A and B are shown apart, each in its own frame.
Chain A
Amino acid sequence: MFFASWKPPADVFYAGERWIIKVELAGVSPDDVEIAAQDRTLTIRGRRRDRWLQQGFACHSLEISYTRFERSIILPARIETNSIRWEYLDGILRIQLNTRGARS
């Protein structure tokens, strides 16, 4: 119950030094997502807002987390910051990047 804050699930694929990382971020506006890389760590953070609000409706129950989220993925080699590209489609954030140097 403590620290069980929202952690979006992620898949990681690689081909040599090329990596594809998919993060499930349904309902999150791309404007609210920040992607950062430092050394071998890729961090995706942001927050989800409830944008589907309708006047005159009261909340009955709430299961989707509209909180901030932060997800760090540690890769075996140094990330090339310049190589990061991302797109957002069907609720999935897709990140492509390259690493360089020896895997540790």
Chain B
Amino acid sequence: MMTAVTETILPLLPVKDMVLFINIEHPVVVGRPRSIAAIEEAAGKEDKAILVVTQRSADVDDPRQDDLYQVGTLAYIHRLERHGNNAISLTLRGQERVRIMALDDSHLFLQARYEVLPLPVDTSEEAEALHRDIINQAAQIDALMSSNWPKGMLPQMLQSLKDPMEHVYVLASLLKIEIPEQQAIHEATSRLEAMRSLHEALNHEIQVLTLQQEIASQAASKVSAEQRQYLLRQQLETIQKELGEGDADRTEVEELRQQLEAVELPEDVRKVVQKELERLSKMPPAAQDYQLTHAYLRLVAELPWNTSSADRLDLALARKVLDEDHFDLKEVKERIIEHLAMRKLNPAARSSILCLVGPPGVGKTSLGSSIAKALNREFERISLGGLHDEAELRGHRRTYIGAMPGRIIQALRRKGVNNPLILLDEVDKLGHDYRGDPAAALMEILDPSQNKDFRDNYLDLSFDLSRVFFVTTANTLDTIPRPLLDRMEVLRLSGYTEEEKAEIARRYLLPNQLRDVKLDSTRIVVPETVLLQIVRRYTREAGVRELNRQLARVVRKCAIPFAEGHHEPVTVSEQQLADLLGPERFAIETRRRNFAPGISTGLAWTEAGGDVLFIEAVKTPGGKGLILTGQLGEVMKESAQAALSYIWSQAEALGIDATAFHSSGVHIHVPAGAIPKDGPSAGVTMASALVSLFTGKAVRSDTAMTGEITLAGLVLPVGGIKEKVLAARRAGISRIVLPAENIKDLDEIDERIRQEIEFIPATHLQEVFAAVIPAP
């Protein structure tokens, strides 16, 4: 060992995260002031020698002896460079292993006395074996290293070195070996010990690297699984092509494209469709949007943009069809024929929007389908009863999950023509809530000037509804919003008379019932008089539904003998009705006879047809004011007030003692008490009852009356004349006093009935009183 360093005390540089081995050059960046001072001290000496000792813990900034390992390295500063931020980077070269004897930290820098710790050059077979294995391990590690490691560098470097310890030191400082292990290798008292430590550390390193590679390859195999699937799909596609099956999804798109090309689309629709098709063909079939877009395009393809059915414009034939299906209803039938005539003259004319109003069971819905039959149009019925979601009519936007087109568009798609007859049933029973008002949506649909460009939310394209024949039905117009009603042509179907019902039963209902049991009218005979009795005693309705049910009962019961094998024709007599249908359900309403003063007969209109009602008035001596009972509505109460006020004001002219109004109150009751009643049409009836009460003269019991009154005594027209007249006739009334302005409504009534009843027109209450209260 020549030229040993002369000094026995040298500056000491504590280092973290590294161990400087002999004959190894190592770059270090120094920033701690004490370390810099130590380096400056060393660099200012001839041989630039310094002691390098590793800290036990990297966290300590100002290490004492206890914080440092005991064995360090005598090193030379090989290169030195200062940086602007007061840091010094240097290259140290390890020279000797040293033991730190005494640390002196009383100066600006650490310095220590040391003793050189030479490593004996021991050779053993075990060391030789370990050395070889270490070389092997190095090769393994080199192979296992990640891609940015220069492959082959390590074995090459080892080859250039001869001394086994140099191998040990290179590997120990180059590979990721923990500081305590590095220090252990550095401190080893023999080569064998150093090699053992390194061998162990390298083994650990190999295990870690192997594991790391395994993890990496697992991730890689995940990716390659997807790639595999992709490849398999590609192969499948090829196989399908070979088999002539083709790609199912692609052909689906192709099919759709052909379908869309085959239909004649408006220009703007064509554009949208092209864009959507483009999107679809680029989408993988598993994409969420694929199904949505596909369904949408299918709808567009199936909608009848330009397909319409040819109208049958044969007026005579249409008339025949309508007459076959429905009895009477002249007004409605006439309107249909008018429509046909208009179409015949101008095929491009707008379709009508009709509103059929009438009581239940008069045949509104079936009339709808008859109209369709007469015109030879497709028929679709949409029930609006209870519908309260606007989206039902106009559809949901496609962005919503489960979005669907509205019912109108669905109906058109189903029918495949753009001019069907769509019956919007129960338009008076539309609901509405926070989801919107379907009535408002209906307004757009039913407005001939707007529905040319009907825009369904789902379709989001304008569709021409102007060729659709809309027919709506309703029981009452009261609940239909005015603006909506305004867009429709209202046709009233009033109730049928008893004779009409009997006729309907004979012509339509009975044959239908017989057909159900496969018998004909020669087997079960129900004479017209019996039918009339069924109508009168077993039903009370405006329509014929209940009648139909009663007829069904009759037919069922009469069919039993035929089922038992008898073949004698059966004729139903009036006497048998009680057996067949049970006791009669409605006594025929007869007029009351022998009225006391204060009672008069009124006529009411109900949704189920007309009705007769009696108004009873009594004086309540000592009482005060007017008492009204019988579930009267606001309007009816007011009209009672008006009647009383009028009579009071005209007491003298009417021959009434005016003091009577002071001495007693009046109570007016309208039976039946449980049925709510309203409307102004009972005005004349109440006035008559009151006059009769105060004059003490009874009202004629064969006379019924209707009409609104004013305080001036005028009689104003009212509605529902036909129903009222029919009800009066049923009750056996022979005279009816009605507002003069209502006389024109009598045209609706069958000629025969008009003959039976005497109609007395009135414009003023005086005329009413004169007609109903006979002079004694």
Contacts and interface: CB of A to CB of B under 8 A. Distances in A.
A100 interface: no
A68 B82 CA distance: 24
Contacts of B505: none
Given A2-B170, A3-B25, A61 B48 contact: no
Interface string A1-36: 111111000000000000000000000000010100
Contacts of A57: 44
A38 to B, nearest CB: 16
Contact of A50 (B39, B48, B166, B170): B48
Given A2-B157, A65-B78, A58 B40 contact: yes
Contact of A66 (B2, B25, B76): B76
Contacts of B26: 1
Given A2-B157, A5-B93, A67-B78, A62 B47 contact: no
Tell me the dominant secondary structure on chain B's binding face: mixed
Contacts of B27: 1
Contacts of A68: 3, 76, 95
A103 interface: no
A47 B170 CA distance: 23
Interface residues of A, number: 26
Contacts of B477: none
Interface string B8-26: 0000000000000001111
Given A2-B170, A3-B161, A62 B79 contact: yes
B435 interface: no
B46 A62 contact: no
Contacts of A34: 2
B45 A53 contact: yes
Given A1-B27, A58-B40, A67 B93 contact: yes
Given A2-B170, A3-B161, A5-B25, A49 B80 contact: no
Contacts of A50: 45-48
A66 B76 CA distance: 8
A2 B44 contact: no
Contact of A62 (B3, B23, B77, B157): B77
B553 to A, nearest CB: 113
Nearest to A6: B78
A5 to B, nearest CB: 6
Nearest to A57: B44
B157 to A, nearest CB: 7
B123 to A, nearest CB: 21
B137 interface: no
Given A50-B46, A68-B3, A1 B78 contact: no
A58 B80 CA distance: 12
Given A5-B93, A49-B47, A50-B45, A63 B25 contact: no
Interface of A: 1-6, 32, 34, 45-47, 49-51, 53, 57-63, 65-68
Given A5-B78, A62-B81, 11 more contacts: A1-B91, A5-B23, A46-B2, A49-B46, A50-B45, A53-B44, A61-B81, A66-B46, A67-B78, A67-B93, A68-B95
Interface of B: 2-3, 23-27, 39-40, 43-48, 76-82, 90-91, 93, 95, 157, 161, 166, 170, 173-174
13 contacts: A1-B27, A1-B91, A3-B161, A3-B166, A5-B23, A45-B2, A51-B46, A53-B45, A53-B46, A59-B40, A62-B48, A62-B81, A62-B90
